[in-house]
Each structure stands twice: as C-alpha cells, then as structure tokens.
Structure 1
C-alpha cells in the first residue's frame, strides 16, 4: 500500500511537470506569435516612415514650410495617441504589458494602465509573465466582441501585499462556476 501511495505521488509530480512544460511551450508559442506581429508592425512603420520622408521632401522642394509644420504636427499627435510604452523598471512586466497592449489596441480595445512594481518584487519573472500574460489574454478574449471594449490593469504594492487587478467589459451574465474554454485544464503555478 505504501509503495502504491509513493508511486501515485510520483505520477502526480510527473504530470505536474508535464503540465508546466506544456504551459511553457504554449507561452513560448504565444510570445513567438506576438514577436512576429510586432515585427510586421515595425516593418509597416518603416514603410510608412519612408512615405512620410518622401512627402516632406516634396513639400520642402516646393518651399511649403507651413504645410510641413502642419504635416509634422498632425503626425506628432498621431504618434502621441498610438504609442504609450509603459516603463516600470521591471523588463518582464514592461515586455508583457506593452506587447499585450499592442494586441488589445489592434482589436480596438482601450487599454488603461496604472502600474507600480516594487524594486524588491517577490514574484519571479517567469511567474509574472505567466500571470500577467494569462490575465491579459483572458481580458482581451472576453472584451474583443464587446461594444466599446476596455481593459483596466492595475498593479500595486500596498503594505507589502502585491496586488494585480484587471477588469474588462463583459456584458454576458457571469457564472459562479469558474470554467475554462482551454483544452488543457487544471494547470497550476508553483510559486518559488
């Protein structure tokens, strides 16, 4: 009987390790997909930049200084609205939030961020990537079919209590049962 209990414990531990490996594999694939998407955006930005340079050169050749100023002012406003990169001092958090913000905004979802990460954060980078990535992915998935969708992300440290709060628009009725639409069920994080 004792041998059976030990074997069951070993099997459970192996299953947890396999689940963790699968989760890491899934996260790496998502990261690769998001990096690919970011590269495409960058490539499109380079193309747009070349067109702007051509347009400005043509205006300069014609001596249209006021039109150049108006053009640059308009572009500056567009840049201010499009680009909001969060810098928390934690590169993992910055990467996850900025990448997910881009994905959300591509889907027309307003992304509100209020983040303060303590320098001595007790949550490891891998755990932070797992938690934030999963929370934001879920919020994006729930919001993308909503009218006037938004995601509000807040991270704070209050009295040595690390708090992550994320809310999003979701008009369907909420259930008390926490169900998943994912194929892999029952994956949990081990805090180190």
Structure 2
C-alpha cells in the first residue's frame, strides 16, 4: 500500500479499473468452466487468451505513463533547483547593490565633512578640490521598495542590467499586503518574463525603439498579476504562435522559460497569456493568492 500511494492519481485509477475488470472476468470464466459444457469451456479459453493480451497491453500502457510521469517529475525538479539558484543569485546581487549605495552615500558625507574642515583651515585649494569632487556626485539609485524581497531583488537587478544593455526600463509595483507565495516561484515568473523581454529588445535594429515596462499589482485581494511589455517591430505570434525559442541550443534549458512561467502560474491556479498590442508584445501571468 505505501508503494501504491507513490503512484500518480491517474495511474491508481487505471490500476483500480484493471483490477475490477480482472475480478469480473475471472468470475465469468469460473462460471463457464463450472458449467462443464464443451462450448462453454472453449469460450472460456478464448476469453482468457483475449483478456491476457488485454492485460499485457494495459501493463505496457501503465509503464509508459509512469515513464512519462517520472520524466516530467525530473524536469520539474531540475527547474525548481534552477529557480532556487536564480532567486538566491538575485538576492545576493540586490544585497551587494544596497551595500554599494550605502558606501557611496557615506562617501559623500565624508567628502562634505572634509570640505568643512578644509574651509575652517582656510585651505582654499583643498576646499576647491573637494567641492569639485562633490559636483561629480554619484547619483543615488531609486531602488524598488515594494515590501517583497524577491520582487525588489529581481526588479533592481534587472534595472541595472537594462542600463547596461541600453534598454529603457520602467516598473510599477503595487502590493497592498504581503504576498504568501513561495519566493522561488515569484522569481521564476518575473525573471523569465523580463529576460524574454530583454532578449526581444536586443534583436531590434533600431536601438531607440527599445523599451521594457513591468507592472505588478493585486486585484480584488485575490489575484496577483505580472505584466511585462516590450516593443517589437511585428507581431511575433503570427510567425511563431507557440513562441518557440530561436536559440541554437534550444535542446538545453533555453526554451523552458515560457513553460516554466506557465507551469509555475498553473501551480497557483493561474495561467500565462501572451498578446500583441500596437507594436508591444505583452506577457501577462497571474496567480491566485488563495488557490485552495
């Protein structure tokens, strides 16, 4: 019984139906044999041969189903491990960026203090030099502070990446209350959506058209939405309706991004929707905050 509990629900249903069928057929065969009629015995033998073949095919089908289940399970575990590493990486990058921002802020304070001291000592050249340093001030970044650590980490890291790639990046996050969803799953949805938008933006020959925007909000306190838009020259759904990856190494983890988003959203009773609106490709994923 413990081993049977490990089987998938569909497999247990198939096994139950097969067992009931075996029981019913055996009762019929026993009844025919007990009748001691030659014709009945012949029919019983033919029936048993047919049923034996049927059972063999049923076992083969069950094995194939089990093999497919195990393959899907391994893929899910692989994606889960990958998502955990990605989430950890974003959190570490975000922590590093906050530490750098703090040090820059402290550095400006130190320079200001040095300028005051130099002015008091009438060291005009020193004051002039420190004043010029303060003019070349490090612009303090406006970090996303939504109240959700992983969303902040992904948004802030992707904002820095967008700056490196020369892609204008805007975001809007409205979370009225804490989100009770696994941070790894949030990272899996949001990071893959933005990565896809960046990849599409880099393919634009006119760099001035590049633009990516992210909007995250909660509707009716029950559904969390992730919406990512990026400019495109033409509707990709016409030439590639299934949005299959165009990368040469698509047999590896590439190409699993969209499936990862869809599977993660489905886990919480949600889904992934892709659309095209006025030269913008829109990826919208939603999850139910109370799926059960």
TM-score (norm 1): 0.72
**CA gap 1:26/1:156 in 2 versus in 1, 3 angstroms:** same
CA positional deviation for 1:150: 1.8
**2:13 aligns to what?**
none
**2:65 aligns to what?**
9
Alpha-carbon contact 2:148-2:178 (below 8 Å) kept: no
Higher-Rg structure is 2
Alignment length, in residue pairs? 188
CA positional deviation for 1:113: 0.6
**1:108 aligns to what?**
166
SS of structure 2 residue aligned to 1:85: coil
**1:21 aligns to what?**
77
Higher relative contact order (CA 8 A, sep 6+): 1
- 1:51-62 aligned at under 5 Å gives the runs none
Between stretches 3-12 and 92-101, larger displacement belongs to: 3-12
Alpha-carbon contact 2:176-2:218 (below 8 Å) kept: yes
RMSD: 3.8
Q: Counterparts of 1:74 and 1:116 in 2: how far apart (Å)?
A: 34
Q: Counterparts of 1:130 and 1:153 in 2: how far apart (Å)?
A: 15
SS of structure 2 residue aligned to 1:128: helix
CA positional deviation for 1:6: 2.6
Give structure 1 stretches of 5+ with no counterpart: none
**1:163 aligns to what?**
225
**CA gap 1:127/1:118 in 2 versus in 1, 3 angstroms:** farther
Q: Counterparts of 2:98 and 2:133 in 1: how far apart (Å)?
A: 21
Q: Counterparts of 2:144 and 2:101 in 1: how far apart (Å)?
A: 20
TM-score (norm 2): 0.51
Q: Counterparts of 2:225 and 2:102 in 1: how far apart (Å)?
A: 39
